[in-house]
Amino acid sequence: MTTSEIQFDTPADPVLDGPVLQVEDLHVSFPSESGRVRAVRGLSYHVSPGEVLGIVGESGSGKSVSSLAVMGLLPSSARISGSIKFQGRELIGQNDAELSKIRGRRISMVFQDPLSALTPVYTVGDQIAEAILVHRKVSKAAAAKRAVELLDLVGIPNAVERAKAFPHEFSGGMRQRAVIAMAIANDPDLIIADEPTTALDVTVQAQVLQLLETAQEVTGAGIVIITHDLGVVAGFADRLMVMYAGRAVEKGNVDEIYQRPRMPYTLGLLGSIPRLDVSEKQALVPIKGQPPSLTDLPDGCPFAPRCPMVVDACHTAEPPLVDVDGSAEHSAACIRTNEIAAADAEGAEAAVEIFGAEVAGEPEVAKIPREQRDVVLGLDNLVKEYPVNKGVVFKRRVGTVHAVAGITFDVREGETLGLVGESGCGKTTTLMEILNLQKPMGGEISVLGTKSSEVDSKRRFAIRRDMSVVFQDPMASLDPRITIHDCIAEPMQVHGYSKDEINRRVPDLMRLVGLRPEQLSRYPGEFSGGQRQRIGIARALALEPKLVVLDEPVSALDVSIQAGVINLLEELKSKLGLAYLFVAHDLSVVRHIADRVAVMYLGKIIEIGEVDSVFDAPRHPYTQALLSAIPIPDPVKERQRERIILTGDLPSPANPPSGCRFRTRCFLHASLPPEQQRKCIDVEPPREVQAPDHEAACHFAQIRQVL
Amino acid sequence: MAGFLLRRLVNYVVLALVATFLAFTLASATFDPIGVLQQRNPPPPAASIEAKKRDLHLDQPIPQRFVTWMGGVVKGDFGRTVADRPITDELGRRIGVSLRLFLLGITIGILFGVLLGVVSAIRQYKFSDYFATLFSFILLSMPVLVLGPLLKLGAQGLNDAIGTNVLIFVGETTPGFQGNWFEQLGDRLQHLILPTLAIALGQIAFYSRYQRSSMLDVLGSDFLRTAQAKGLTRRKALFKHGLRTALIPMATLFAFGFGLLVVGGTFTEKIFTWYGMGDWLVVGIGSQDANITATVTLFVAVCVLFSGWLADVLYAALDPRIRVN
């Protein structure tokens, strides 16, 4: 009986016809040492029942702060003014006790980082049950039962057992599901999702987005989804609001904005996304510079310093949000919006035109056919295993983690190989083995024709000149205590360059990566993320390597900054004839930058080949699933696409499935008759040639277009 | 988990043995009870010195003496003092005195230390935070040698102002005090308050600093925001989700804090003339008595190691991530 009380009352409560949420002229500011930070400045928007509003912007644009203001979760130092009406009731000025009756009951929230969003010391079931118990007078047993039902609803298998697990026993995707279960526990009327998929793998991202759609259907709630990635919201949102420097700079329905953006910033954001569905080389639009400091905003348009269309008039006053194209549904804050409307091209193409982005050419060496080029890096059946030990005093081996289970590929001069796969598939282990240059456990690594198993330490040192690395996290990979000059100079000192030569090369390298040599005496802390990654690239190029290993070089950066770094990498490749091994989980970036791509799953390469062939005609079901999970920043296409949603998480590499390692999650395997399934279970599929320069390891490989 | 705790316990027994052996050896090697005896005036007859030597097993090598002594300890006999009184008779009373003082002191210290730390963290950079910080630093920089007499002075002032002796700071009971159990309790309390304060104040200062920083770490955490987002008030979220998590790193501190307190409690006992274990150690060294020294060391070792074990239990109770492995 108790459970029936908390069933979902779909669709939305017929209490009111008006919007669920109405925000008017919201201002939020925080005190700081350099003056008040005006994080949100005069923001107005509304969300209707059952509607999905996407809020998009770079970090620091005020999108999260404005949502926390709605939840009443800002720190007490924040000064808030304006109006936030939820179902007609004013929320600003309410005390914590009153707001807590609405929070979790009528408005709920899903946060960015599922790893830290759950209290580590309580079970998942208890935490979900708590959300019910706070708001309803039900027995503990009924709440616990309901928690299990909710876990089941969000797709946690074996929910009864899993409810007793602690958060650390859940994977990231499962934790995000648990958070969503908590958010829908009380059938809310508004769900705010703050970057709900940013911290997740692409396959899990697709699962979570689909789950949010389900949650929306089940509860009938309005949804606010906050993201910096225009791709994520294309197929999901109904309306979009683009934020910059604490204000809305463009609002409108989702098709309008993607097809006819009317504010240069939106254009830039759209143009900066590498597209998965575009095979010819696409020019990426980097938005130069950084978002302005919110303590000391200039007069006029805050985007003006980064805007390619800036004119003197832009500096006189901040443009208001006005209707464009004669539609009350679409508004933009730009004085030159009519000129954008008058341009011939639309959407991302207009962005390329306006921002003047260019495609970098191919390096000279790429004109020679691939087979005739030198092999820069060759992996032959590389194996890496880790022992699993048990016991403190008497360690005994209880198992083996097969992190890399025999992979073979080569990278030739002047080409980029993208290595992709979910977290835990062995990408990083492969990379570390290559960089270590030791004799591998099994198989062979050769760099420029020299086998790692046959080199002594002297030779190894010499090889390191030809091979360098750029790391994922630009914040952590630079020593904060040494100047940029010393940082870039260090590899050259180690390899015995003369002082004069170093002093000549360091400024050259700075210019090469698009930074000013005058900044050489500064410390890493004074640079932004994108600039730091450029410094990391300069350091990697110091010894004039032939091969650069890039470990997720852009995944920690905002999309608009990411575009600049990708462009730089392409330009450098073309100028210096470099070969890249590019490890990434973002397939759109890989499609943009790579010549060939290798897809890894549980320590094996399951598909490899020329990038267009693999992306346009994927043969392996896993590749097909990965590709279909990537959102495309095109609402029309996105809504028509059929998603292949992989079930569950990656199996443990300590105990991989027999035969084909992917079969436990494979939709193709599931659809086969039993006698054919037998083959998947018993026989490990070999890598077979499917097309010129395209191999896949599947017994039943067939083309399936997913873009 | 139980197996893990049991294994730990076995480890600790070995450690306690080692600690006691070292103390016994060191004391036996340096102490010279016979020399003290010989310096008496008039000197005792040679025969009784020889008898004393035999009584104290001084004719045996030190490891053998330890084995003999330990053999007694296992049966509950801690040997005899130089003055030939059985140690076991006095041991129980002295442990009682020490534990009464320290357990109460540390309980109050932990409770109020945590509370002060949490309040400080929640009201960071407000007046109460600054005040708590100042209070803690003053107390932390003040040895009990100073704090004790200061408390005595304060108590004296209070007593004078009231006109009767409310707070008594010599001994643990009034000698020859007669009365029913209630009056007895009252008398003991009057004696207990000051020394307990002397211990608790330092502990409060110490724990509040650590609790403040561990609470501050938790205050900015995402899960606290999640708890509020599901409808808990800030206060409830802080105590149910925040405090529980912030207590985890404190578990070790609590446990070992107690162990160390017992070791360092000598001064407090001396200042307030309590005849506990700390006092006994001083007496033992003064009378060149290896048995007393070894007994007190064993007690301290057991306290420290039991605390360590308690820390493991506390950890396991507070943090499910530990329990799995």
Contact A330, A323 (CB under 8 A): yes
The pTM score is: 0.83
Is residue A33 assigned to a domain?
yes
Q: How many CB pairs under 8 A join A and B?
A: 85
Alpha-carbon distance of A429 to A432, in angstroms, equals: 5
Taking alpha carbons only, the member of B117, B272, B144 closest to residue B199 is B144
Q: Which site among B125, B221, B230 would you substitute to test the A interface, given the most A Cβ atoms closer than 10 Å to its Cβ?
A: B230
Whether B319 and A104 lie within 8 Å, measured CB to CB = no
Alpha-carbon distance of B215 to B232, in angstroms, equals: 18
Is residue A499 assigned to a domain?
no
State whether A183 and A112 are in the same domain.
Answer: yes
pLDDT tens per residue, range A619-636: 999 999 999 888 888 888
Whether A121 and B245 lie within 8 Å, measured CB to CB = yes
**Residue for token digits 């599947």?**
A698
Q: Dump the DSSP string for B177-191.
A: ----HHHHHHHHHHH
pLDDT tens per residue, range A134-155: 999 999 999 999 999 999 888 8
Considering just the CA atoms, what is the radius of gyration of chain A in Å?
27
State whether A401 and A350 are in the same domain.
Answer: no
B-chain residue closest to A109, CA distance:
B229
Q: Please report the residues numbered 265 through 304 in chain B whose beta carbons come closer than 8 angstroms to any beta carbon of chain A.
A: none
Q: Please report the residues numbered 81 through 100 in chain A whose beta carbons come closer than 8 angstroms to any beta carbon of chain B.
A: 96-97, 100
pLDDT tens for chain B, 325 residues long, are: 677 778 888 888 898 999 999 999 998 888 888 887 788 777 788 888 888 888 888 888 889 989 989 998 888 888 888 888 888 888 999 998 888 888 888 899 999 999 999 999 998 888 989 999 999 999 999 888 899 899 999 999 998 998 888 888 888 788 878 888 888 888 888 888 898 998 899 999 999 999 999 999 998 889 999 999 999 999 999 999 999 899 988 988 887 787 777 766 788 888 888 888 888 988 888 888 888 999 998 988 888 888 888 888 888 888 887 765 4
pLDDT tens per residue, range A532-561: 999 999 999 999 999 999 998 888 788 888
Whether B319 and A185 lie within 8 Å, measured CB to CB = no
* A461 touching chain B per CB within 8 A: no
Angle ∠(A369,A375,A379) on CA atoms, nearest 5: 130
Is residue A617 assigned to a domain?
no
**Residue B73, helix vs strand vs coil:** helix
Q: At what angle do helices A172-184 and A124-135 cross, to 10 degrees?
A: 10
* B221 touching chain A per CB within 8 A: yes
Alpha-carbon distance of B288 to B310, in angstroms, equals: 34
B267 CB burial (10 A radius; 0-12, 13-18, 19+): middle
Choose the final residue of a domain: A355, A381, A402.
A355
Token output for A465: 């000149």
The predicted structure's pLDDT at residue B144: 85
* B230 touching chain A per CB within 8 A: yes
Is residue A371 assigned to a domain?
yes
B200 CB contacts (<8 Å, ≥6 apart)? B104, B105, B106, B108, B109, B112
From chain A, the residues in CB contact with B247 under 8 A are none
Is pLDDT at A398 greater than 90 in this prediction?
no
| Whether the complex's predicted ipTM surpasses the cut of 0.85 | no
State whether A453 and A559 are in the same domain.
Answer: yes
Q: At what angle do helices B222-229 and A172-184 cross, to 10 degrees?
A: 30
Is residue A691 assigned to a domain?
no
Q: What is the mean predicted confidence (pLDDT) over A342-346?
A: 72
Query: How many angstroms away from the CA of B305 is the closest CA of chain A?
Result: 20
State whether A351 and A378 are in the same domain.
Answer: no
From chain B, the residues in CB contact with A119 under 8 A are 223-224, 226-227, 241, 244-245
The predicted structure's pLDDT at residue A394: 61
Give Cα A172 to chain centroid, integer Å.
Answer: 14
* A492 touching chain B per CB within 8 A: no
Query: How many angstroms away from the CA of B119 is the closest CA of chain A?
Result: 16
From chain A, the residues in CB contact with B319 under 8 A are 120-121
State whether A144 and A287 are in the same domain.
Answer: no
State whether A161 and A54 are in the same domain.
Answer: yes
Is residue A374 assigned to a domain?
yes
Whether A103 and B227 lie within 8 Å, measured CB to CB = no
State whether A295 and A338 are in the same domain.
Answer: yes
Whether B230 and A179 lie within 8 Å, measured CB to CB = no
Distances from the Cα of A524 to the Cα of A447, A487, A527, A568, A569, angstroms = 32, 9, 6, 19, 20
State whether A267 and A331 are in the same domain.
Answer: yes
Choose the final residue of a domain: A204, A237, A270.
A237
Whether A103 and B245 lie within 8 Å, measured CB to CB = no
Is pLDDT at A573 greater than 80 in this prediction?
yes
Tell me the pLDDT band of A455, cut-offs 50, 70 and 90: confident
Give Cα A388 to chain centroid, integer Å.
Answer: 31
State whether A298 and A414 are in the same domain.
Answer: no
* A388 touching chain B per CB within 8 A: no
Is residue A249 assigned to a domain?
no
A216 CB burial (10 A radius; 0-12, 13-18, 19+): buried
From chain A, the residues in CB contact with B226 under 8 A are 109, 111, 117-119, 179, 182
Taking alpha carbons only, the member of A496, A453, A130 closest to residue B233 is A130
Query: How many angstroms away from the CA of B298 is the closest CA of chain A?
Result: 27
Tell me which residue range forms the domain holding A567.
Answer: 366-466+545-607
Specify the DSSP class assigned to residue A518.
G
State whether A267 and A371 are in the same domain.
Answer: no
pLDDT tens per residue, range B47-85: 888 888 888 888 888 899 899 899 988 888 888 888 888
Taking alpha carbons only, the member of B257, B146, B121 closest to residue B138 is B146
* CATH number of residue A125's parent domain: 3.40.50.300
Residue ranges and CATH numbers for the domains of chain B are 92-286 (1.10.3720.10)
How many separate domains does chain A show?
A: 3
From chain B, the residues in CB contact with A135 under 8 A are 231
**Residue for token digits 């933009």?**
A332
Q: Which site among B214, B226, B228, B319 would you substitute to test the A interface, given the most A Cβ atoms closer than 10 Å to its Cβ?
A: B226
Residue A32: phi and psi, rounded to 5, are: -150, 170
State whether A107 and A138 are in the same domain.
Answer: yes
Is residue A703 assigned to a domain?
no
* B64 touching chain A per CB within 8 A: no
Contact A242, A56 (CB under 8 A): yes
Choose the final residue of a domain: A582, A607, A632.
A607
State whether A270 and A221 are in the same domain.
Answer: no
